[in-house]
Chain A
Amino acid sequence: MTLVQEIDYGTPKKTAAESVTLEINGRPVTVPAGTSVMRAAMESGVTVPRLCATDSLEPFGSCRLCLVEIEGRKGTPASCTTPAEAGMKVTTQSPRLANLRRNVMELYISDHPLDCLTCPANGNCELQDMAGAVGLREVRYGYEGANHFHEASDESNPYFTFDPTKCIVCSRCVRACEETQGTFALTVKGRGFASRIAPGDMLFLDSECVSCGSCVQACPTASLTEKTIVEMGQPTDSVVTTCAYCGVGCSFKAEMQGGEVIRMMPYKDGRANHGHSCVKGRFAWGYTTHKDRILSPMVREKITDPWREVLWEEAIAYAAGEFKRIQAAYGADSIGGITSSRCTNEETFLVQKMVRAGFGNNNIDNCARVCHSPTGYGLKTTFGTSAGTQDFDSVEQADVIVVIGANPTDAHPVFAAQMKRRLRAGAGLVVIDPRRIDLVQQPHVQAKHHLALKPGTNVAIINALAHVVVTEGLVDEAFVAARCDVATFERWRSFVREERNSPEAVEALTGVPAAEVRAAARLYATAGNAAIYYGLGVTEHSQGSTMVMGMANLAMATGNLGRPGVGVNPLRGQNNVQGSCDMGSFPHEFSGYRHVADDSVRAMFEEVWGVALGAEPGLRIPNMLDAAVDGTFKGLYIQGEDIVQSDPNMKHVAAGLAAMECVVIQDLFLNETASYAHVFLPGSTFLEKDGTFTNAERRISRVRKAVAPKAGYADWEITQLLSNAMGFEMNYAHPSEIMDEIARLTPTFAGVTYEKLDALGSVQWPCNDKAPEGTPVMHADGFVRGKGQFMITEFVATDERATDRFPLLLTTGRILSQYNVGAQTRRTANLAWFDEDVLEIHPWDAENRGIRDGDLVELASRAGATTLHAQVSARMQPGVVYTTFHFPGTAVNVVTTEFADWATECPEYKVTAVQVRRTTHESEWQAAQEEFREETRRRKREKV
């Protein structure tokens, strides 16, 4: 491995169809119109010295180093801000230019500490490089004049330092914060010699900074530097891989020194992130070497026994022996598996293969059950494909963006940055969410409409929007006639037209003024290109699937499908939740969403796998747990998922697990679920294996092994060992062989190979003979299912409703610095931003209950109670409270109920009737659980 070096062209790439030819130092070069002279020079192989320019930012023209001479023009214009023109004759070096540049550098260096040898940027410093490039030999001003050498560093951010003594005030950091990230947390304070970069009046940690790292990446000196680089020096080698946090799927260079990762650097060629990152992917990878990681397999007969560290052979033999014993005693269907949306496609595929072919049943499910299963169901029913319709770049052509039940700036920050760029460029924004999320108003972004609906009334709102479209003549009749099933459309039209679906009729129910709904509907329908982005605020409801279909109906009726800038787009939570669904980790579907009852599909798998497969769908996760409580389901293999913390009605989950005879957990850490496990198989992080992840835009990207698996095996190898011990042979030498099998068995993946991924960087499925390089935008020439199908979306209120006893509605979500159950981010310095779940409550509701900011409160529902601290916040609407589930001690899912989506059993996390009151001590459940956690985590050190 060598260090991957990316070329910096100085200014952004232009894509104009028209091109211009100019001469640079006597040689002709042709570039798209609008390209800067600097970039044109770079593309012809000539580097023009520069400091304030970098190709992720618009040119600024402040450093005065990139001066050139242009024949027929006066003076020496800056090449970064001068567009190339046809016939231009540019000279990039002459005695005059050399002299000017040297003079500029002299001024810079007269106020720069000359400690290059001990500077963290040594070996990777653009200032140093430019001093070399311009031939700086002396500084006539001396070093005794006014300077900034004595300013103090800001060390407050846990991941990077700001050393103002090294700063040349090129503003690259300020512009990166504005243009790339859209947070505007940095500014230049003062003027002239007094100009200093500052995060407003505060330290970095206390400021508006979201720690995305774009300023650090943009800094040409050591002024903004990762603390790991300060400590360890520059990396020596790197591999390009894919982030294992959210569904954006950012490309990173894992940069290493001596076989250990020391920095994660966003990769410019990454087509999901274009060189941008967030605090999690960029900085929060410390969990991969955290001391809590379990590196040796462990076994115990009873969950009350202490763990016994054993060799791999014994752990695998024990697990396989137990599974076989259970099947012999209770039947083939008494065991099952849960795949991980954090693991690779290849690993997920192997787990479902082992369950179907090795266990001999279809008891396989994945965490999409609790997040986006309604997306799969709803979009498949209406469009024919269980996935979002667009690529992320599509948002750059949207005229109106509708965000429903999603909080992208916290949960999908890198895509949010791209979305905000489009919003700053003028696209309209509608937010449909009970909370005033950050997108509603933040620097340079303001929603035109915020429909702050009551939790549980999504379908009423979408029907009201559709009512306006239908009754005000806003239907795209031509699109509907050409592309959709007209009979279903007519039925739907007469349904939504009914007066009971009008904004006025549902106003009392939803709490949203009818005029706002009407205005939002008009904006969406008449925008030109209108795109819907949605999240778990849509799916995690008793009518999750209905709402997905409601959005699909609306998009079809207004013709907002099948081209860039439009679409219905789920923002998927986990790095590979799209992939784990694609790979057939469902009890009823093989890879590519083909039903197990389909004889021809089953025959294909039977031929390749060499065993007979069941035609009956297996158990979903909630069914497995119900069956366990009933005594018919006894063994479970869970790869990388913590169902005790993440699934609803925690007490029921715990009871189900406790009733099983063999629970096998494969994970990085002793998570909450491991408290109920009999076998623990230590897993590997994304840095320790090869494979692929599929992101929210169906993009399949390579995960490449940077370091060796710390516990000995990659996760796919562990599954293979277990399968072999169960008697179903698997002999893959490399994940690429698994992908070859996936491609052979899955039409939408038919054209995917590791060679192609290496050559193209990534591809979006469907990737097959019809689309050999993948498919960025779906349904371009017609819906996958043929004609788009409109579905009737009758609003049915959830059975979960506020009562006298439980008068408030709880809704749950996420925050930027922590990730889901927090297994990873809780083990990083991200705790500096957020170290406990809090309950957000409106000032009125707080006052009624005598609750002050920071009070310990009990949050109780009919399912259970937990305690946490209150945060009084006007982001909430009265009657609604909000919290996150990042910390196991909070146990929010003790409170959530068993209500679920009617079609897919996706739990209704977003609506729970609760009461909140001040308290002085934690709930009984929390206390008991803490004790239980201690008890079940004991380890005996007697390795054989």
Chain B
Amino acid sequence: MDKATVGFAPWDAAAAATMIAEMQDLPGACLPILHRLQGEFGYIHDEAVPLIAGALALSLAEVVGVIEFYSDFRRTPPAVHQVQVCLAESCQAVGSAALAERLTEVLGTEIGGRSADGRFDLRPVYCLGNCACSPALMIDGLLYGRVTPDRAPQLLAEVWP
């Protein structure tokens, strides 16, 4: 993946090992290390698992268990843009299903999939803490409230000119 477009460095095991070495003495180092690696490379490469396990005296299974517990940790490179649509109770009550459907049409993918052009990941999220302004949508970390189905393509166009 090209850093210029995605904003992440390509996977580099040696660089990852250096980052892990820098952080391995932190109390509860596993999570901060995972955040750092994902921040650097955009995802947690499979090769990072034994590196982390070895440095922290954890098993491979434990590291995998931590990564898999958090839905925001990725194990494959992300698309350029992350779209998260809230499907929790409050948003559902004011029509997030229709919003979600509209997004799947516009992006040409199911919830949990990637747009046909590979530029958008469309993921469900269960509450963004913005219930008063439901339905909520998050695009690349920016939160939008009261998003109607018609407003969604507009918002996407802002990040996808």
- Knowing A187-B62, A187-B65 are in contact, say whether A201-B57 is a contact too (CB < 8 A): no
Whether the pair A199, B57 counts as a contact (CB closer than 8 A) is: no
Identify which of A187, A188, A207, A442 gathers the most chain B CB atoms within 10 Å of its CB: A187
Whether the pair B59, A445 counts as a contact (CB closer than 8 A) is: no
Nearest CB on B from A190, distance (A): 5
User: Bound state CA distance, A306 and B63, in angstroms?
Assistant: 59
Contacts of B62 in A (CB 8 A): 184, 187, 443
Whether the pair A190, B68 counts as a contact (CB closer than 8 A) is: yes
Whether the pair A208, B59 counts as a contact (CB closer than 8 A) is: yes
Identify which of A183, A184, A202, A446 gathers the most chain B CB atoms within 10 Å of its CB: A184
Contacts of B60 in A (CB 8 A): 200-202, 207-208
Whether the pair B49, A446 counts as a contact (CB closer than 8 A) is: no
B61 at the interface (CB under 8 A from A): yes
Nearest CB on B from A875, distance (A): 13
Whether the pair A187, B58 counts as a contact (CB closer than 8 A) is: no
Q: B44-70 CB contact bits vs A (8 Å, 1 = yes)? A: 001001000110011111111100110
B18 at the interface (CB under 8 A from A): no
Whether the pair A190, B69 counts as a contact (CB closer than 8 A) is: yes
B5 at the interface (CB under 8 A from A): no
Contacts of B64 in A (CB 8 A): 187, 189, 198, 200-201
Whether the pair A446, B57 counts as a contact (CB closer than 8 A) is: yes
Nearest CB on A from B48, distance (A): 12
Whether the pair B69, A442 counts as a contact (CB closer than 8 A) is: no
Contacts of A188 in B (CB 8 A): 65, 69
Whether the pair A198, B61 counts as a contact (CB closer than 8 A) is: yes
Contacts of B68 in A (CB 8 A): 187, 189-191
Contacts of B54 in A (CB 8 A): 441
Whether the pair A201, B46 counts as a contact (CB closer than 8 A) is: yes
Chain B interface category by residue count = 10 to 19
- Knowing A187-B64, A201-B64 are in contact, say whether A443-B69 is a contact too (CB < 8 A): no
Closest to B67 in A: A189
A52 at the interface (CB under 8 A from B): no
Contacts of B59 in A (CB 8 A): 183-185, 187, 200, 208, 443
Contacts of A199 in B (CB 8 A): 61
Contacts of B65 in A (CB 8 A): 187-189, 200
Taking CB atoms and an 8 Å cut-off, the chain B residues in 98-152 that contact chain A are: none
User: Bound state CA distance, A871 and B82, in angstroms?
Assistant: 45
Contacts of B53 in A (CB 8 A): 443
Closest to B46 in A: A201
User: Bound state CA distance, A189 and B70, in angstroms?
Assistant: 10
A551 at the interface (CB under 8 A from B): no
A186 at the interface (CB under 8 A from B): yes
Closest to A183 in B: B59
Taking CB atoms and an 8 Å cut-off, the chain A residues in 418-442 that contact chain B are: 441-442
Whether the pair A443, B58 counts as a contact (CB closer than 8 A) is: yes
A444 at the interface (CB under 8 A from B): yes
Contacts of A184 in B (CB 8 A): 58-59, 61-62
- Knowing A189-B68, A190-B69 are in contact, say whether A442-B61 is a contact too (CB < 8 A): no
Contacts of A198 in B (CB 8 A): 61, 64
Taking CB atoms and an 8 Å cut-off, the chain B residues in 55-99 that contact chain A are: 57-65, 68-69, 71
Closest to B55 in A: A441
Nearest CB on B from A599, distance (A): 59
User: Bound state CA distance, A186 and B63, in angstroms?
Assistant: 11
Whether the pair B69, A186 counts as a contact (CB closer than 8 A) is: no
Nearest CB on B from A172, distance (A): 16
Contacts of A442 in B (CB 8 A): 57
Whether the pair B57, A187 counts as a contact (CB closer than 8 A) is: no
User: Bound state CA distance, A207 and B49, in angstroms?
Assistant: 13
Closest to A200 in B: B61
Taking CB atoms and an 8 Å cut-off, the chain A residues in 459-491 that contact chain B are: none
Pick from B49, B57, B63, B71: contact of A444, CB below 8 A. B57
- Knowing A198-B64, A200-B64 are in contact, say whether A191-B58 is a contact too (CB < 8 A): no
Whether the pair A445, B61 counts as a contact (CB closer than 8 A) is: no
Whether the pair A186, B58 counts as a contact (CB closer than 8 A) is: no
Closest to B58 in A: A443
Contacts of A445 in B (CB 8 A): 57
Closest to B75 in A: A201
Closest to B71 in A: A191
Whether the pair B57, A207 counts as a contact (CB closer than 8 A) is: no
- Knowing A201-B46, A201-B49, A443-B53 are in contact, say whether A207-B61 is a contact too (CB < 8 A): yes
User: Bound state CA distance, A582 and B128, in angstroms?
Assistant: 72
Pick from B46, B49, B61, B71: contact of A185, CB below 8 A. B61
Closest to B54 in A: A441
User: Bound state CA distance, A186 and B59, in angstroms?
Assistant: 9
Contacts of A201 in B (CB 8 A): 46, 49, 60, 64
User: Bound state CA distance, A188 and B64, in angstroms?
Assistant: 9
Closest to B63 in A: A200
Q: A34-66 CB contact bits vs B (8 Å, 1 = yes)? A: 000000000000000000000000000000000
Taking CB atoms and an 8 Å cut-off, the chain B residues in 21-60 that contact chain A are: 46, 49, 53-54, 57-60
User: Bound state CA distance, A548 and B69, in angstroms?
Assistant: 50
Nearest CB on A from B105, distance (A): 25
User: Bound state CA distance, A467 and B62, in angstroms?
Assistant: 42
Identify which of B59, B63, B64, B69 gathers the most chain A CB atoms within 10 Å of its CB: B59
Whether the pair B58, A208 counts as a contact (CB closer than 8 A) is: no
Closest to A187 in B: B65
Whether the pair B57, A441 counts as a contact (CB closer than 8 A) is: yes
User: Bound state CA distance, A441 and B57, in angstroms?
Assistant: 7
Contacts of A446 in B (CB 8 A): 57
User: Bound state CA distance, A184 and B30, in angstroms?
Assistant: 16
Closest to A202 in B: B60
- Knowing A191-B69, A201-B46 are in contact, say whether A186-B57 is a contact too (CB < 8 A): no
Taking CB atoms and an 8 Å cut-off, the chain A residues in 625-641 that contact chain B are: none
User: Bound state CA distance, A915 and B2, in angstroms?
Assistant: 50
Taking CB atoms and an 8 Å cut-off, the chain A residues in 154-212 that contact chain B are: 183-191, 198-202, 207-208
Nearest CB on B from A11, distance (A): 24
Identify which of B58, B61, B64 gathers the most chain A CB atoms within 10 Å of its CB: B61
Closest to A190 in B: B68
Nearest CB on A from B92, distance (A): 17
User: Bound state CA distance, A188 and B69, in angstroms?
Assistant: 8
Contacts of A189 in B (CB 8 A): 64-65, 68
Contacts of A187 in B (CB 8 A): 59, 61-62, 64-65, 68
Taking CB atoms and an 8 Å cut-off, the chain A residues in 99-143 that contact chain B are: none
Closest to B60 in A: A200
User: Bound state CA distance, A242 and B49, in angstroms?
Assistant: 40
Closest to A199 in B: B61
User: Bound state CA distance, A322 and B71, in angstroms?
Assistant: 77
Contacts of A200 in B (CB 8 A): 49, 59-61, 63-65
Nearest CB on A from B5, distance (A): 29
Nearest CB on A from B151, distance (A): 30
Nearest CB on B from A770, distance (A): 45
User: Bound state CA distance, A446 and B68, in angstroms?
Assistant: 26
User: Bound state CA distance, A207 and B54, in angstroms?
Assistant: 15
User: Bound state CA distance, A443 and B54, in angstroms?
Assistant: 8
Nearest CB on A from B56, distance (A): 9
Contacts of B61 in A (CB 8 A): 184-187, 198-200, 207-208
Closest to B53 in A: A443
Contacts of A441 in B (CB 8 A): 54, 57
Contacts of A208 in B (CB 8 A): 59-61
Nearest CB on B from A807, distance (A): 31
User: Bound state CA distance, A276 and B65, in angstroms?
Assistant: 25
Nearest CB on B from A209, distance (A): 9
17 example contacts (A-B, Cβ-Cβ < 8 A) are as follows A184-B61, A185-B61, A187-B65, A189-B68, A191-B69, A191-B71, A198-B64, A200-B49, A200-B59, A200-B64, A201-B60, A201-B64, A207-B61, A208-B59, A208-B61, A442-B57, A443-B62
In the A-B complex, the 10 residue pairs with the closest CB atoms:
A187-B65, A184-B59, A200-B61, A443-B59, A187-B61, A189-B68, A200-B64, A200-B60, A446-B57, A185-B61
Beyond A187-B61, A208-B60, A443-B58, list 6 extra A-B contacts (CB 8 Å). Answer: A186-B61, A191-B68, A200-B64, A200-B65, A201-B60, A202-B60
